[in-house]
Chains A and B, each alone.
Chain A
Amino acid sequence: MRPLVRWALVAAAAVALVTFPYWSAPWESTRFATTLLRDALVLAIFALSLDLLVGRAGMPSLGHAAFFGAGAYAAGIAGQRLATDQLPITLGAAALVAALLALVIGVLVVRSEGIFFLMLTLALAQIVFAIAFQWTAVTGGSNGLSGVGRPMLATLDFSSPDLMYVLVAITFVAAAFLVWGLARSPYGRALIGVRENERRMRALGYDTARLRLSAFVLAGTIAGIAGALSAYSTRFVSAQDAGLGNSVRAFVTVLVGGAGTLGGPIAGSALVSVIERVVPSLLPVELRISEAILGLVFIAFVLFARQGMVGLGRQTWLRVRSR
């Protein structure tokens, strides 16, 4: 496929995605699909940021929700304390707080690897969660932070659900573009090098600790932005946004979709969103088993399809082509 054709297709898809609520209006009056898609896109941004760590840099973080939650809280609190709804301020606050938190935690965890890294990120993120849960004065504690305002950009008001969706969709496209650009850049290649053979990278002259820290902070910042979008969308921040469940969710999304690929986190968020939102709506309310289903799907992929849906897709495609 010629590059120009490919670019045109991607651009068309992006436009279709961003304008979804407008062209779907005729058959979708309840806005269920729009809301579902919006939340799936927020998860996709979150998962894309985690994939930077898990899929590219080889840093399996189980504490990524700490930054998501920090961004969500920062956006909400900044809006309320500074009495403003202006997007640059609240979103900027979210990115800044998430980045700083990622820097602090990053410095502590960046020298560990593998399972130990996983545990450290989990433990430290859990502490962040616990602080959010207990610091009632600032975060609303176990009741959460309610009344988060919908953002405004100059006179553009994102209170309308359609416009809120557009904001999320545009951010998603930007995030996907960023990750795509990163993957093909020297930076992306250096991250792969660190993942594959850190010792050799150091022997070549790369400051691997700084590389890993930069990836950690970048990923945390993007997660914080996803968190802010979540806060704007649901107008609420709960401590669970920073909790282990959310970190696990993101990890599952990345792995099930296919780590280290652009399409993986995206496909994964589609699947996870279906499991989390569509399945429960088909079952009786008392039968809450979406987590269990997620767990089983996750186990199945780890055992039998480690490369995720994208990897499976590639394998099947190659097999079909070789016939």
Chain B
Amino acid sequence: MIETRELRRAFGGVVALDGVSLKVPEGERRAIIGPNGAGKTTLINVLAGEISPTGGAVRLAGRDITRLRSWQRARLGLAHVYQRTELFSPLSSRENVALAVAARRGPYRLFRAPPRSEYAAADAMLERVGLAGRESVVVRALSHGERRQLELAVALAQNPRVLLLDEPTAGMSPVETARITELVAGLDRALTIVIVEHDMDVVFRLADRVTVLHEGRVIAEGTAADVRGDALVHDVYLGKAVTVA
């Protein structure tokens, strides 16, 4: 469904991605793990179209999307939940989600108020992520955990084929983490999910397969159990100097 070929990205002298190739088939849930600085967020940003790679290609459902901008990829069914909360602060939860719902139809309608169906769909999505009753609350008044739930609602409202989650449980309490994890676990199986995570419990709960990045390269790939037992991965996480062939 979504794949990359020999993806490269350098920032000046720093090489963030050094030939990353991966293939995530439709419906799979793939976790991307690796120590800090491994290039995980860069990879997500390249997949989302926010950064262009210096080499390599990205394909979505067989189509080359390397040259496409983020909004064009969104129209093709790619949704992205950022590491840091990126919502529309002065608007309510409902309006945040409604913006996502309305994106498909295009905004160039001047006089009519947004159709009730939009708000109804928004409310339904909010209920699904556990924010029922918080529809009219402005983003500024939401707790951190609620904002992350809202982020998920907004992304899901785009009706995506591929969902990119960049550290969705970052900064959350165990209760909030569990809630988000169950939410994601309960998502439609047809949805392809790529999730960057540090919390290994979350990874084990959610991931079908895991890709391990280190210094911009893929050093291991397999099921969660495989990766857990991999000695190389173990070393990398413990910070031992590793040379990757």
Binding site for B on A (CB under 8 A): 178, 181-182, 184-187, 189-190, 192-193, 196-197, 199-208, 211, 214
**In contact, A200 and B112 (Cβ under 8 angstroms):** no
Which residues of chain A are near B104, meaning CB under 8 Å? 205
Rounded to whole angstroms, the CA-CA distance of A201 and B100 in the bound complex is: 8
B5-13, B83-91, B194-202, B207-215 - interface stretch = B83-91
**In contact, A214 and B89 (Cβ under 8 angstroms):** no
**In contact, A204 and B91 (Cβ under 8 angstroms):** no
Closest B residue by C-beta to A208? B71
Q: Which of A184, A186, A187, A197 contacts B88 (CB 8 A)?
A: A197
Which residues of chain B are near A211, meaning CB under 8 Å? 107
Q: Which of A189, A196, A199, A203 contacts B107 (CB 8 A)?
A: A189
A-B complex: 7 closest residue pairs judged by Cβ atoms? A205-B74, A190-B107, A205-B103, A202-B71, A181-B111, A196-B88, A204-B103
Q: Which residues B100-117 have CB closer than 8 A to chain A?
A: 100, 102-105, 107-114
Known: A186-B102, A186-B114, A204-B74. A193 touches B88 (CB 8 A): yes
Which residues of chain B are near A200, meaning CB under 8 Å? 82, 86-88
Which residues of chain A are near B69, meaning CB under 8 Å? 202
Q: Which residues B38-80 have CB closer than 8 A to chain A?
A: 48, 50, 69-71, 74-75, 79-80
**In contact, A185 and B114 (Cβ under 8 angstroms):** yes
Rounded to whole angstroms, the CA-CA distance of A231 and B69 in the bound complex is: 44
Name the prevailing secondary structure of the B interface residues. loop
Distance in Å from the Cβ of A57 to the closest Cβ of chain B? Answer: 12
**In contact, A203 and B71 (Cβ under 8 angstroms):** yes
Rounded to whole angstroms, the CA-CA distance of A178 and B110 in the bound complex is: 8
Binding site for A on B (CB under 8 A): 48, 50, 69-71, 74-75, 79-80, 82, 86-91, 95, 98-100, 102-105, 107-114, 154, 158
Which residues of chain B are near A185, meaning CB under 8 Å? 109-114
Q: Which of A184, A193, A207, A214 contacts B71 (CB 8 A)?
A: A207
Rounded to whole angstroms, the CA-CA distance of A3 and B86 in the bound complex is: 35
**In contact, B109 and A186 (Cβ under 8 angstroms):** yes
**In contact, B75 and A205 (Cβ under 8 angstroms):** yes
Rounded to whole angstroms, the CA-CA distance of A211 and B71 in the bound complex is: 12
Closest B residue by C-beta to A177? B111
Q: A185-B113, A214-B108 are in contact. List 17 more A-B contacts (CB 8 A).
A: A181-B110, A185-B109, A185-B111, A186-B105, A186-B107, A186-B112, A186-B114, A187-B107, A187-B108, A187-B109, A196-B88, A200-B86, A201-B99, A202-B69, A203-B74, A203-B80, A206-B107
Distance in Å from the Cβ of A20 to the closest Cβ of chain B? Answer: 27
Rounded to whole angstroms, the CA-CA distance of A190 and B100 in the bound complex is: 10
Rounded to whole angstroms, the CA-CA distance of A207 and B106 in the bound complex is: 9
Which residues of chain A are near B108, meaning CB under 8 Å? 187, 214
Which one of B99, B103, B112, B114 has the highest number of Cβ atoms from chain A below 10 Å of its Cβ? B99
Ordered by A's residue number, 27 sampled pairs between the chains whose C-beta atoms are within 8 Å are A181-B110, A185-B112, A186-B107, A186-B114, A187-B107, A187-B108, A189-B114, A190-B99, A190-B107, A192-B88, A192-B91, A196-B91, A197-B86, A199-B50, A200-B88, A202-B69, A202-B70, A203-B48, A203-B82, A203-B86, A204-B74, A204-B103, A204-B158, A205-B71, A205-B75, A206-B103, A207-B71
Which residues of chain B are near A199, meaning CB under 8 Å? 50, 86
Closest A residue by C-beta to B151? A200
Closest A residue by C-beta to B105? A186
**In contact, B70 and A203 (Cβ under 8 angstroms):** yes
Distance in Å from the Cβ of B44 to the closest Cβ of chain A? Answer: 11
Distance in Å from the Cβ of B231 to the closest Cβ of chain A? Answer: 38
Rounded to whole angstroms, the CA-CA distance of A197 and B90 in the bound complex is: 11
